[in-house]
Amino acid sequence: MQILISIIIPTFNRAKILPNTINSILLNNYQNFEIIIVDDGSSDDTEKIVKNFKNEKIRYFKIKNSERGAARNYGAQKSKGLFLNFFDSDDISYDNHIKSAVNIIQQNNFIEIFHLSYDLIKNNKNKTKTVISYGKTNVRLLRGNFISCNSLFIKKNIFNKFKFDENRYLSGSEDWDLWLRISRFYQIYNFKYVTSAIVDHNDRSMNEKNFDKISKRLQIIREKVKNNLYKNLNNNEMNKILGHLISFETFYQSLLTSGKLNVIKNYTKSIFLDPILIFNPRSFLIIRNILFKW
């Protein structure tokens, strides 16, 4: 059985780097896939660049700027594949990416949602880290997001039950939010095959340094926890999520030049909620900033 995979790429004003992502996918050694480009209101040459490919596997749609969550949902709506896979427009696929996923699907009784391992590459040149995971994911997700969108494959019918939250103020955490919601109903598995890369560069959206934006999106997650949108969390599970949120926010607070006592207070609160956070590398960075930054 030839399984069709839909790879959805939201993009905004990245005409210069988007071709690298598209070309890397086209070079895959499994060819039953489609690439859906959702142009999220770009003002550059994105449309021209995409249409220059003249490849029947590529489908292009342009929408009003709505942020990544909405663009991904739109692409999923237009997709034809049994499974969906989401790339950002600066990610890179290795040639084994789709074939590895199809093998896993076929060898695991049509597993419904899973993710693969991936590399982190600095400025499209040097590999800085390989994130290898295997086994079950659900419990680990409570302590933060380690799944890259490009590594995850999900059955379209399951995705349609949940979808990305389209609140633009959640951008940067919309994927973790989705994985958390799904994980309350489905087991998410990881596999150790390294099949793609995240390219870390200065313009990457996850390198956002605006504390107010970060704080706002974390507050949205907090409200979802309090309102039981992550179904049936027990107190221990809730504390793990809230502890991570406070720790993450405290790290960015510790980079500022004021509020040392508040940083110490919040760091202590995160450890109280989830003591294992004391061994998290972020804790060492927070403590370093408390001791030496001011």
pLDDT tens-place string over residues 43-85: 999 999 999 999 999 999 999 999 999 999 999 999 999 999 9
Look at residue 122 in the predicted model and tell me its pLDDT: 81
Give the residue-averaged pLDDT of 260-272.
94
Is this prediction's pTM over 0.85? yes
Q: Tell me, what's the pLDDT at 241?
A: 98
The yes-or-no verdict on residue 199 having pLDDT over 70 is yes
- SS3 category, 40: strand
Separation CA 259–CA 253 (nearest Å): 8
Percent of the chain with pLDDT over 90: 83
* Per-residue pLDDT band at 217 (split at 50, 70, 90): very high
Give φ, ψ of 141 to 5 degrees: -65, -25
| 12-41 pLDDT, tens digit each | 999 999 999 999 999 999 999 999 999 999
Name the residue among 233, 7, 21 with its Cα closest to residue 138: 233
pLDDT of residue 205: 55
Mean pLDDT (the chain) is 93
Ordered by start, the domain boundaries in the chain are: 5-201, 211-292
For residues 110 and 181, what is the distance between their CA atoms, to the nearest angstrom?
A: 21
Is the distance from CB of 240 to CB of 142 less than 8 angstroms? yes
Q: Are 110 and 154 spatial neighbours (Cβ–Cβ below 8 Å)?
A: no
Burial of 291 (0-12, 13-18, 19+ CB in 10 A): exposed
Assess whether pLDDT exceeds 70 at residue 204.
no
CATH architecture of 5-201: Alpha-Beta Complex (3.90)
